Amino acid sequence: MGQPAEKQRRATYADLEAVPPNKVAELIGGVLHVMPRPAPRHSRAESALQGELFGPFDRGRGGPGGWTILVEPELHFPDPHAPGEIDALVPDLAGWRIERMPELPETAYFALAPDWICEVLSPSTEDVDRDEKMPIYAREGVRHAWLVDPVKRTLEVYVLGADRRWGPAVVHRDAARVRVEPFEAIELDLSVLWAR
């Protein structure tokens, strides 16, 4: 008879803090996910999208303002399966409406769920982004989620329903010029997201 399988220890926030600074770490359901810093196409898409949205929505230049848009904020949500523990997620981009978050918190993380998140997909992160993080964003009431794939050159747009489930994705491709919730006040030229 074989030995019983050893139960894997739940990772803690201390484990996340011990990850080297040249890595990105997230804690989801007691599992520590450690990823390399983003590859060039990923970085290009993230930087370009932040550039397109920051002026009009965060600063109110050429757009309505009313948002705080941040790159790679650390989000802390209670882990419903382990009282006293947290899920610590780092979306590539996140935005909060000013009326919900008029000032930045004093903590090194955000406990208030954003109104919008964007994940830039890569082969090493896509499964975690889709299968583990998207359900948490829905559970926490994030209203809008975008998934950007710089290799396939797609933008998937999701809106949270009243049942806290994501509606069907609206997919935009290549060099489309689109107006997309919650930033439909400006036209977004997707070609700026893809590496040259």
Count of other CB atoms within 10 angstroms of residue 71: 15
Specify the pLDDT at position 57. Answer: 97
| pLDDT of 124 strictly over 90 | no
Does 154 have pLDDT greater than 80? yes
Task: Check: CB of residue 88 under 8 Å from CB of residue 75.
Answer: yes
pLDDT surpassing 90 at residue 97: yes
Strand partners, 149: 154
**Contact 133/146 with Cβ under 8 angstroms?**
no
Question: Domain residues of the chain, as ranges?
Answer: 37-193
Query: Looking at the domain covering 37-193, what would its CATH class be?
Result: alpha beta
* 156-165: pLDDT as tens digits: 999 999 999 9
Of the pLDDT bands very low, low, confident and very high (cuts 50, 70, 90), residue 9 is: confident
Q: How sure is the predictor about 56, in pLDDT bands with cuts at 50, 70 and 90?
A: very high
| Residue in the structure block whose two tokens are 């919008």 | 116
**End-to-end CA distance of the chain, in Å?**
59
- CA angle 131/134/135 to nearest 5° reads 80
Residue 58 is classified by DSSP as I
**pLDDT beyond 80 at 21:** yes
Q: Is the pLDDT of residue 140 over 60?
A: yes
For range 42-65, the mean pLDDT: 95
